[in-house]
Amino acid sequence: MRLWPTALLAAVASSSCLGQELRPPIDRKAWMAPSPASRLRVIKPARSRATSPDAADYMRLLERFPAFGERGWRARYLGRDDLGFFGDPDSAEMGLRSMGNFVFVTALLASEPSYDPRVTGVSDATLLERCRACLRYMTGAHVTGDIVCGDGKKWGRHWQSAWWTAKMALGARLVWDRLTGPERDAVRRVVTFEADRHLARKPPGGDLADTKSEENAWDTEVLATACALFPDAPQAAAWRAKLIDFALNSLSAPQDRTSEALVDGGPLRDQVTTTNIHSDFTIENHGSYHACYMACPLHSLAWGAYAFRREGLEPPEAQFHHFRDVWRRLAPTFLESRFAYIAGKDWPRYAYGLSFIMPALVTLSQRFDDEEARAIEAARFRAFEMEQAANGDGTFFGKRFTRNVMMDRLLEYETDAYANLGLCYLLRKGAPAPKPIAPRVLGKRLAGSHISPEAHLATVRTPDLFAAFAWKRLEGLTPSAWFIPAGCDDMAEWGPGNLVGRIAAAGVGAKGATLSTDDRLTPAGLECRGDVTYRKADGSPGYTLTVTYSVDTARRSAEVRSRFVADGGLEVRAVEGLRLHVANDFFNAGRRRWEWNGGRRTLSFDLRGPWPEKETLREVAMPGPWVCLDGKLTITDLSPEPRGFALRVSDRRNGPWGSIHYDVLDCPPQRDTPARYRKGEVILETAFRIEAGRRPSPAARKE
């Protein structure tokens, strides 16, 4: 347990005016240092059960939380024995989101007879004490309360505070009979305020690049919670009406604006005022299609549905408006243990959206008998359990990237996972857990192809292969291709220019680039053709990239051809052909086996660290016309004169947030020597065949 230094407590307690912002008493940067990790006392092995995961399986993960939670507990806030908080003292998202999660999870564990304190040595009585002390902190430091947060400010009336409030209130509801009257009144006060403030709001919209889908959905969380917990409130009918308004405008598609379909007693066209998703139910945010923001609104709507279910009430129909449509668009992008980040990903790898989707998967399974969702729930559960058990300290991602830092977003990633898995436990508790369909059956069910002109991407899926092409990524118009045979999902890393290559030219960027495409489904699978013209700062053309990507699903192969041509005088500073991003980290035990014409080598990444702050790259030459990775994926250079491959090997976790380690395979090897080109000159031209398995091209076999 970490206690506040006496001097800091005095600094907070000495304030004479709680309504005035205080000088922050805590040096947040100093608190960003990792906390000492404590080992779990007992690590229960995974159960071999046909119906896994059921409630008991979820509890096995949840009961490890106190080992993590105790490291972030801050006792005796303002010198009071009955007041404390968890983690980050920030009065906005960095503090309150994790705190709402903390209240929910500690309340769940304190109220469940199946909780086993032997795992961490933390009793249910201690958890209840922590829950109530943190609940008092949250309700007291709200804008309607009489204290302030640890940074000297109040919280609430915030962009995301509906989310934090709902988690807090649903946690309080689990221990409602063990709260005092004033504690219950304080919860009602905060929930009422946060729900009421939406009554005069109109749901915002934004389908292109910056959806408001997840924002509207998380605002439904507090409205649903208010309706379910306090149905006797005089404004309960207004809350329900506004809940329907925000729910219908969370996953709002353009076709809704003219739809005569009746939802909650009225036609959609009269109730939907926004467009937050595309007509094919893809969702963009941060600039392009984003798998995390496909999952996030589903997560919030599932939490709201639970709030009603907990009280034996039926949610409004709007709660599931396009819920299954969005899911059916997302589901085919599931590989074997994770979803594909087709257009890139700016959050940590295999953490954020993959915890959000869990309550939605259980909801889909239970409410709609969705067998695919149940199978994916099982696969994702195993992935969470595998990493958590390997850490052995109560974290899901501690060894990989959160490093036991009890502050900021690093804390948020851990507590989001715990809260969402906690909701899965409550949904599965007391309900039959059906046997998941086999992975091979799942692969057949998810097979199919899709082209999204609105999101500028295309996918094709068979039981043996997932392939995709994205013209637009988070970085802008940076075409990238993906070819992932079955058994290879831990190889994929989602960087720009994958399989396509890229160049860096002085004064030229993706801003203002123009795109022309011709994507089509073919009898063999998929073909994507197009041109991207990149412009200089003055708007004149800089260079044009022409790409063709053809996938043959029966042969489990693809060809990708790229051509970069100067559109005027141009200085090119770097050239990278192929740019195959290859993850090499925890999920494959940090070992990759490479083979090429006349050579082979196993490359290892030390999962234990420590890793340098500044990245150093070394180059491994792989001469010849082909390379093979782990005996599962072969790439052949189809150029008339093959130029050889080179692997750029990083010495640290170089993915976003330090969450994954990856290397980059180039062909031809990266060139960083500046060169000038005139209009019409070819800067780079490449052609590759990608195949599943160890199948070099006939020319390579002869050598």
Q: What is the mean pLDDT of each run of 10 residues along the chain (703 residues)?
A: 34 32 52 76 85 95 97 94 95 97 98 97 98 98 96 95 98 98 98 98 85 97 98 98 98 97 97 97 95 97 98 98 98 97 96 95 98 98 96 96 94 98 97 94 97 97 97 95 97 97 94 94 97 94 97 98 97 97 98 95 94 94 97 96 95 96 96 95 98 70 40
Number of structural domains found in the chain: 1
Domain assignment present for residue 546? The answer is yes
Find the DSSP H helices in 311-349.
323-330
Q: In degrees, to the nearest 5, what angle opens at C-alpha 351 toward C-alphas 372 and 617?
A: 125
Reading the block at residue 271, the tokens are 């109730």
**What type of residue sits at position 169?**
A
Domain assignment present for residue 559? The answer is yes
Reading the block at residue 377, the tokens are 């729930």
457-462 and 448-452 beta bridge pairing: antiparallel
Domain assignment present for residue 593? The answer is yes
Cβ count near 700 (within 10 Å): 19
Domain span including residue 576: 447-702
Which H/E stretch holds residue 449? strand 448-452
Find the DSSP H helices in 175-282.
181-196, 213-229, 236-248, 268-271
Closest CA to 551 of 446, 651, 449, 641: 449
Tell the burial category of 445 from Cβ atoms under 10 Å away from its Cβ (0-12, 13-18, 19+). Answer: middle
Closest CA to 292 of 332, 246, 348, 363: 348
Domain assignment present for residue 239? The answer is no
Domain assignment present for residue 109? The answer is no
Model pLDDT, residue 223: 98
Sheet (strand 682-692) strand order: 508-521, 525-536, 541-552, 557-566, 682-692, 633-637, 626-629, 591-596, 599-604
Which H/E stretch holds residue 127? helix 124-141
Q: In degrees, to the nearest 5, what angle opens at C-alpha 147 toward C-alphas 142 and 151?
A: 80
**CA pair distance 233, 185, nearest whole angstrom:** 13
**CA pair distance 496, 480, nearest whole angstrom:** 6
> pTM for this structure?
0.94
Domain assignment present for residue 651? The answer is yes
3-class secondary-structure state, position 155 = strand
Closest CA to 557 of 640, 462, 483: 483
Reading the block at residue 643, the tokens are 């130029």
Please spell the DSSP secondary structure of 553-613, one letter per residue.
TTTTEEEEEEEEEESSSEEEEEEESS-EEEE-SGGGTTEEEEEETTEEEEEE--TT----S
CA 574 to chain centre: 31
For position 454, which CATH number holds? 2.70.98
**CA pair distance 255, 42, nearest whole angstrom:** 53
Domain assignment present for residue 496? The answer is yes
Between the CA of residue 73 and those of 68, 134, 289, 412, 568, what are the distances in Å?
9, 9, 37, 14, 61
Phi, then psi, of 653 in degrees rounded to 5: -75, 110
Domain assignment present for residue 108? The answer is no
Reading the block at residue 18, the tokens are 């709680």
